[in-house]
Amino acid sequence: MSEPGGVEPRTLILCIDGDNDIGKKGGVDTPVLNRAANIEAATSLALADPEEADANAMFGAVKLYDQLTEKYPDEIYQIATISGTAMGGIEADRNIVKELESILKSFKATGVILVTDGYSDESIIPLIQSRVPITSVQHVVVKHSERIEETWAVIFRYMRMLIEDPYYSRVSLGVPGLMLVILGVLTVFGQLQNAGTVLAFVMGLVLLVKGFGLDERLALARLRLPPIERQLLLATAFVGVMVSLVGISQGLVNIWTIVEGPAPAPWQDSSWWVERSSKIIAGFVLGSINYITMGVAVALTGGIASHYMQRDPKIMQNVVGLIVTFWIWRIAIELANVLIEPEKTPALNSPLVFMIVGGMLTTILSVFVIYGAYKDRLPFK
């Protein structure tokens, strides 16, 4: 039977494997054209992975082809399978279009019956419809597999939204990221035993802010506040100062764990203070250096974030500051140990000498690297 206008109906039964499982698992090149080739390709895919839904779709397309050729013997039918790519996205769509056009050159179809294995393949309907009319869409799914596929599609859509949408990523990525940074800092400074308290405080603060909508209130009042990068710089500087003050107090307390005996007033026995001056300095350094270094690092990190938001090349000065702070921290601890036990004077191959040389070299190298990268933006040349 011919269509109006004398055009003989030529129907293409088309099965689409969007992620190219037929090539990856079955080792079959697409496009696959005609009944025998599709049966062979579907068999290869089913043997490679008996649970593969695309194999069921291909067998379903073959069954549909047999039913239609038997029921409408005067019409012309052809069966074909095309695929996308494992990467998905634009590359997969382009490959599907390319293979479809190559089939349409050899088989001038007047309509297409699209055979899919469920939810995901329907997204390519517009690609097919723009080139040849789709007269029917047939679903070939294993029992319950369509609902499971739809559920996974929804789950992945929301997971992507949690990662890519700034409104949600601030909590879904920002809070875990902040916790990991805190754990890393506490580990570096040997304060991992306090991780539970610090993380509980941070989580409580986040829940408090979100629960009472404080973030939205601050957003409404942002016009009266300084720029966000300025706020960040001030906040981290304040935290750094507070942590450093805690370090100073800890250093003063730690002096008396190293210096033996009650301390007389300075004006009563100055020789007592002179004799123990090295241990007093060492005790203060060992008790305070971790906290002071942590405070300086927090302030410098805030400066890095602030300059990055402003696209200010001064960010590299803070990077150099972090490098210098790290080496001062390690050198100060080694020097304090030497002051406590002056008889153990460091040799040329001691860690202290290595740290001093390493600190100087890395600092100088970082300065040269930064100058080379930002020399056009520096106030001097």
What pLDDT, on a 0 to 100 scale, did the predictor assign at position 287? 85
Residue 21 phi/psi, 5° resolution?
-65, -30
Taking 90 as the threshold, does the pLDDT of residue 79 lie above it? yes
Task: For the full predicted model, state whether its pTM sits above 0.75.
Answer: no
Taking 50 as the threshold, does the pLDDT of residue 379 lie above it? no
What pLDDT, on a 0 to 100 scale, did the predictor assign at position 36? 92
Among the listed residues 14, 147, 23, the one whose alpha carbon sits nearest the alpha carbon of residue 86: 23
What pLDDT, on a 0 to 100 scale, did the predictor assign at position 125? 82
- Please write the tens of the pLDDT for every residue from 216-275: 676 665 555 566 777 777 888 888 888 888 888 888 888 777 766 565 555 556 676 677
What pLDDT, on a 0 to 100 scale, did the predictor assign at position 87? 75
- Please write the tens of the pLDDT for every residue from 82-105: 988 877 778 888 888 899 899 988
What's the half-sphere exposure (Cβ side, CA atoms, 13 Å) at 52? 24
pLDDT category, 150, cuts 50, 70, 90?
low
Three-state DSSP class for residue 15: strand
Percent of the chain with pLDDT over 70: 81
- Please write the tens of the pLDDT for every residue from 324-338: 888 888 888 888 887
Pick the range with the lowest mean pLDDT from 13-17, 144-148, 201-205: 144-148
What pLDDT, on a 0 to 100 scale, did the predictor assign at position 347? 53
User: CA 254, CA 246: separation in Å to the nearest integer?
Assistant: 12
The domain ranges of the chain are: 10-151, 165-225, 226-381
Ramachandran sector of residue 6 (left: φ over 0; alpha: ψ -120 to 50; beta: rest) = left
* C-alpha 52 chain-centroid distance: 30
Q: Summarize the confidence of residues 126-141 as an average pLDDT.
A: 83
* C-alpha 262 chain-centroid distance: 56
User: CA 327, CA 343: separation in Å to the nearest integer?
Assistant: 24
CB 229 within 8 A of CB 310: yes
What pLDDT, on a 0 to 100 scale, did the predictor assign at position 381? 43
Taking 90 as the threshold, does the pLDDT of residue 54 lie above it? no
What pLDDT, on a 0 to 100 scale, did the predictor assign at position 9? 81
Among the listed residues 156, 94, 85, 86, the one whose alpha carbon sits nearest the alpha carbon of residue 119: 156
* C-alpha 340 chain-centroid distance: 46
Residue 17 phi/psi, 5° resolution?
-110, 95
Taking 60 as the threshold, does the pLDDT of residue 315 lie above it? yes
